[in-house]
């Protein structure tokens, strides 16, 4: 026997991978136009398809290319796939001896393959088999762990958990995975934005993990009282519909069943919109003045307005609207800044997945697995470009000591429809000329400088990202006036764009406002559109082609600002671009843009958002610095467009801070918590009660004040829930004697705690240490001096902070503001409080690009490179 070579002894393993494929073509005979040809191969799929066509080749689209290997290693055959399709009622369309064409869509094929792979039968079109990503798995595990820890202490407890997870985290899919892990049989999903129903229904009905689950809503028309009790139920409804009350103060009769069910899990989606009054006002009314909600500029439904009225006028919290029996609560929000800041949820109750986390994961995946498809790749990176308008426009609409550009005043309009006009129409016309680079005075300045700043509709690098944009305006009349001005005969530049005013009265609310936008955009390639809105379509909807948003309205709440901004961060991709690889993606939107024309306000939003992403960060400047490493900020100061670093953002955000304003921060009621749970924490801890009694003024109140407030307020609340709270009763604005007593005593507790808080900056002023946050005040100080100034020991203060008596998040911000103000004061007098501290501020920086500017800001993602920008001028033009 001849001697074998090493190559013969160690042959290479054949690279054969069994595949199931399906393709379609518009060039085949009419009878196969709505059919798929299903086959199998162990070779390259496209090669096999071309071979199978022989000489009669046609252009085709590869609809499906999946592994034919089961988990146990056995193979799925195309015959099995077609047989299972036939069993489901999809007919084979024969051609001579061929039996490979089936009249069905690709979703049906995927469902069948999933059934054959798992050995199960799925109802409907359940076919998706993808697993949870790491961060989704972490969210489920953390929530389950917290729920179990609470139930272990008290089986009747009702735990709450918050997912601070931005858009595209996959909140719906992950919530269902949580419910499955909990073995939940009854899940109630309540949203403040009904437009998100599609995603909740589709995720449940498409993934194999939820086969057999029932989805019911007002839209689906199902009767929740007649569902199969043996199968898990998800009921979806709006907060306003399910939990709102009629004029008599009673819950709606058609939802009586809602209060009779023990819900295993109640989910509040888009929680940030219903939880706090100021955000509700911005969302529901599109105006600043609540008394004008029912005026001509209202663009939301009566239910929305009624809900906002109840929050504001009746001083209600969202808890007053939840008269249901539940085992647990899950809150979902991409911008829950106030929930984080007010301390409603402690650290153990929060899972965070922020924009920074997402972009960090995107970069990490590329670095670690460059040859694998990056699941985060379609998510574009954001850029914020702010512009200081010429003085002549600022003079038209300025406010405050620092002449901030008031967008609401500048874009104020009157009239309706075709008769709508801007109050400052000539100046708005100048603004339109400026943003397209056609305003003569700025053109002359550009010639003198030898450079042109990147205005949105004039810079060739930005124009591709403005093919489809969203313009956020102050009022409905402003939207109508803008549409009229853009379509005016003389504005020929703008005639290439189809202007869609979704705030027009004839356009519906919620998802009903979306069809006109999608119709105007079409496929997005051969059209140009501008969508005008006050608030519609700024949350819960996806328009992939939107690549930029123009902020033309004052928004005070960062929740509303970034919910609107994230509309343009949705992926725009082409799947299977060449028709031969269903897994291939062509990313059409690697970056997206936010354009803002009120720089101080815009940078204040960035500051609040960055700090809000991690309110417990040791140094807020570092939190903002990490944010701008993934969300570069460029600012046009009227002369140059320059990158802005974290320190400059914080300086801009705090511009106008004075000793008086700083003092007010330490006199604010948000620094202390006097809710019932916090008062109970004090009552249940003798050391805490002793510490409280050492605070000036509390001995006069007596320790029994806490018990009085808690017991009486809970009794009042229980009475209201039992009897109903008639919102229209004539005496609704009058408080009962008990309510007055509770309110008065709670106010006294609050005032005494605030008076103590005002002593903390006095103590910080006496120390040499530059405090960054509250932890520094507690741990890096002189204990005797602290007790002398405040009256409490460090240990006492630390205990009260841990119990939530003092709001550590807001105190962190107040401490940080004090430090920056103190540093600025010392710097002004020639004293440098930090060795090597560099001079900061957009207008006094003397270098072109700061050495600490993140690299990502220099990446030419849109042809917009920092190195292309002019260096910073020394001094304001």
pLDDT tens, position by position, 224-270: 777 888 899 999 988 767 766 666 666 667 777 777 788 999 998 87
Does residue 257 lie in a domain region? yes
- Same structural domain, 406 and 507: yes
| pLDDT given at position 404 | 64
Tokens 């004061």 sit at which residue?
825
Sheet holding 265-269, edge to edge: 214-217, 233-238, 186-191, 265-269, 329-333, 160-165, 350-353
> What pLDDT band is residue 399 in, cutting at 50, 70 and 90?
low
Q: 425-435 and 476-486 helices cross at what angle (nearest 10)?
A: 60
Does residue 5 lie in a domain region? no
Tell me which of 645, 676, 695 is where a domain ends: 645
- Same structural domain, 159 and 279: yes
Q: Which residue has the higher pLDDT, 64 or 847?
A: 64
Does residue 456 lie in a domain region? yes
- Same structural domain, 114 and 139: no
Q: Which residue has the higher pLDDT, 436 or 754?
A: 436
Instruction: Provide long-range contacts, Cβ within 8 A and 24+ apart, for 76-83.
Output: 76/18, 76/20, 76/113, 76/116, 76/117, 77/40, 78/20, 78/38, 78/39, 78/40, 80/116, 81/20, 81/38, 81/109, 81/112, 81/113, 81/116, 82/38
Please give the distance of CA 146 from its chain centroid, rounded to a whole number. 24
- Same structural domain, 632 and 690: no
- Same structural domain, 212 and 344: yes
- Same structural domain, 416 and 321: no
| pLDDT given at position 314 | 38
Residue 253 CB burial class (10 angstroms; 0-12, 13-18, ≥19): exposed
pLDDT tens, position by position, 325-360: 889 999 998 877 766 766 678 788 999 998 889 999
Does residue 128 lie in a domain region? no
- Same structural domain, 28 and 106: yes
Mean pLDDT, rounded, for 429-436: 92
- Same structural domain, 545 and 605: yes
Give dist(CA 344, CA 799) in Å, integer.
Answer: 18
| pLDDT given at position 613 | 64
Give dist(CA 643, CA 659) in Å, integer.
Answer: 29
Comparing 343-352, 382-391, 620-629, the range with the smallest average pLDDT is 620-629
Of 184, 175, 199, 361, the residue nearest 261 (C-alpha): 184
Q: CA torsion 817→823→829→832, rounded to 10°?
A: 180
- Same structural domain, 551 and 636: yes
Does residue 731 lie in a domain region? no
Give dist(CA 826, CA 162) in Å, integer.
Answer: 41
| pLDDT given at position 251 | 64
> What pLDDT band is residue 62 in, cutting at 50, 70 and 90?
very high
Does residue 850 lie in a domain region? no
- Same structural domain, 96 and 145: no
Flag whether pLDDT at 839 surpasses 90. no
Tell me which of 792, 813, 828 is where a domain ends: 828
Task: Name the residue range of residue 680's domain.
Answer: 663-725+741-828
Q: Which residue has the higher pLDDT, 557 or 354?
A: 354
> What pLDDT band is residue 555 in, cutting at 50, 70 and 90?
confident
Total of domains in the chain = 4
- Same structural domain, 65 and 153: no
| pLDDT given at position 749 | 86
For the chain, the average pLDDT equals 75
| pLDDT given at position 470 | 97
Give dist(CA 387, CA 597) in Å, integer.
Answer: 5
- Same structural domain, 176 and 200: yes
Q: Which of 35-49, 398-412, 648-662, 747-761 has the highest mean pLDDT?
A: 35-49
Cβ proximity of 849 and 643 under 8 Å? yes
Q: What CATH number corresponds to the domain at position 617?
A: 3.40.50.300
Does residue 581 lie in a domain region? yes
Give dist(CA 708, CA 685) in Å, integer.
Answer: 17
Does residue 833 lie in a domain region? no
């Amino acid at each position: 026997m001849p001697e074998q070579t090493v190559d013969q002894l160690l042959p290479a393993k054949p690279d054969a991978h069994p595949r199931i494929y399906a393709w379609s073509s518009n060039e085949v005979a009419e009878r196969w136009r709505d059919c798929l040809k299903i086959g199998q191969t162990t070779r390259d799929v496209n090669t096999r398809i071309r071979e199978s066509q022989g000489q009669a080749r046609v252009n085709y689209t590869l609809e499906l290319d999946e592994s034919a290997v089961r988990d146990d290693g056995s193979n799925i055959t195309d015959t099995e796939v077609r047989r299972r399709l036939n069993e489901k009622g999809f007919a084979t369309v024969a051609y001579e001896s061929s039996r490979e064409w089936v009249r069905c869509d690709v979703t049906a094929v995927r469902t069948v393959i999933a059934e054959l792979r798992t050995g199960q039968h799925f109802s409907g079109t359940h076919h998706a088999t993808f697993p949870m990503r790491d961060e989704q798995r972490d969210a489920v595990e953390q929530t389950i762990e917290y729920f179990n820890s609470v139930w272990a202490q008290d089986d009747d407890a009702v735990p709450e958990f918050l997912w601070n997870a931005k858009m595209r985290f996959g909140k719906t899919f992950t919530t269902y995975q949580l419910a499955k892990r909990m073995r939940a049989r009854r899940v109630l999903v309540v949203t403040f934005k009904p437009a998100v129903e599609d995603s909740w229904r589709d995720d449940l009905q498409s993934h194999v993990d939820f086969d057999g689950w029932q989805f019911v809503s007002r839209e689906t028309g199902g009767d929740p009282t007649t569902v199969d009790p043996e199968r898990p139920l998800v009921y979806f409804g709006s907060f306003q519909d399910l939990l709102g009350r009629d004029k008599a103060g009673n819950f709606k009769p058609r939802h009586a069943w809602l209060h009779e069910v023990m819900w295993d899990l109640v989910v509040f989606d888009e929680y940030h919109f219903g939880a706090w009054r100021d955000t509700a006002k911005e969302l529901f009314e599109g105006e600043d003045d609540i008394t004008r909600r029912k005026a001509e500029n209202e663009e939301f439904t009566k239910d929305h307005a009624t809900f906002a009225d109840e929050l504001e006028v009746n001083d209600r919290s969202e808890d007053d609207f939840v008269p249901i029996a539940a085992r647990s609560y899950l809150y979902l929000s991409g911008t829950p800044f106030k929930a984080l800041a007010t301390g409603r949820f402690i650290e153990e109750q929060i899972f965070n997945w922020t924009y920074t986390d997402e972009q960090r994961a995107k970069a990490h995946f590329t670095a670690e697995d460059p040859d694998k498809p990056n699941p985060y790749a379609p998510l574009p990176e954001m850029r914020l470009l702010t512009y200081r308008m010429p003085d002549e426009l600022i003079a038209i609409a300025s406010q405050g000591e620092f002449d901030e550009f008031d967008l609401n005043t500048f874009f104020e309009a009157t009239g309706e429809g075709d008769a709508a006009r801007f109050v400052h129409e000539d100046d708005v016309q100048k603004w339109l000329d400026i943003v397209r680079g056609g305003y003569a005075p700025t053109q002359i300045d550009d010639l003198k400088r030898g450079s042109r700043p990147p205005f949105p509709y004039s810079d060739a690098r930005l124009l591709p990202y403005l093919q489809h944009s969203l313009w956020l305006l102050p009022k409905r009349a402003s939207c109508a006036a803008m549409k009229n001005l853009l379509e005016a005969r003389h504005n020929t530049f703008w005639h290439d764009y189809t202007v869609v005013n979704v705030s027009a009265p004839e356009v519906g609310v919620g998802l009903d406002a979306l069809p006109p936008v999608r119709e105007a955009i079409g496929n997005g390639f051969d059209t140009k559109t501008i969508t005008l809105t006050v608030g519609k379509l700024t949350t819960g909807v996806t328009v992939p082609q939107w690549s930029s948003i123009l902020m033309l309205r004052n928004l005070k709440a960062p929740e509303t600002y970034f919910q609107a901004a994230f509309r343009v961060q949705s992926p725009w991709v082409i799947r299977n671009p060449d028709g031969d690889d269903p897994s291939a993606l062509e990313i059409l939107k690697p970056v997206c843009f936010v354009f803002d024309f009120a720089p101080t306000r815009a940078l204040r939003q960035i500051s609040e958002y960055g700090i809000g992403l991690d309110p417990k960060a040791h140094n807020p400047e570092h939190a903002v610095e990490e944010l701008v490493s993934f969300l570069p900020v460029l600012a046009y100061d009227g002369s140059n467009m320059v990158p802005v670093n974290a320190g400059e953002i914080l300086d801009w955000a705090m511009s106008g801070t004075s000793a008086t304003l700083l003092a007010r921060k330490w006199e604010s009621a948000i620094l202390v918590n006097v809710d019932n749970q916090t008062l109970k924490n004090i009552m249940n801890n003798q050391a805490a009660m002793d510490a409280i009694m050492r605070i000036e003024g509390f001995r006069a109140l007596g320790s029994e004040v806490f018990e009085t407030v808690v017991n009486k307020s809970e009794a009042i609340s229980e009475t209201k829930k039992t009897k109903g709270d008639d919102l229209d009763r004539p005496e609704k604005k009058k408080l009962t004697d008990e309510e007055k007593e509770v309110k008065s005593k709670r106010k006294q507790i609050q005032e005494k705690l605030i008076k103590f808080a005002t002593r903390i900056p006095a103590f910080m002023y006496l120390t040499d240490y530059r405090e960054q946050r509250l932890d520094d005040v507690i741990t890096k100080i002189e204990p005797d001096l602290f007790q002398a100034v405040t009256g409490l020991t460090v240990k006492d203060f630390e205990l009260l902070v841990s119990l939530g008596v003092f709001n550590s998040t807001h105190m962190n911000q107040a401490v940080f503001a004090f430090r920056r103000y103190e540093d600025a004061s010392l710097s002004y007098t020639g004293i440098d409080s930090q060795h090597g501290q560099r001079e900061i501020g957009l207008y006094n920086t003397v270098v072109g690009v700061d050495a600490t500017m993140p690299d990502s800001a220099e990446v030419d993602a849109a042809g917009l490179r920092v190195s292309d920008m002019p260096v910073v001028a020394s001094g304001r033009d």
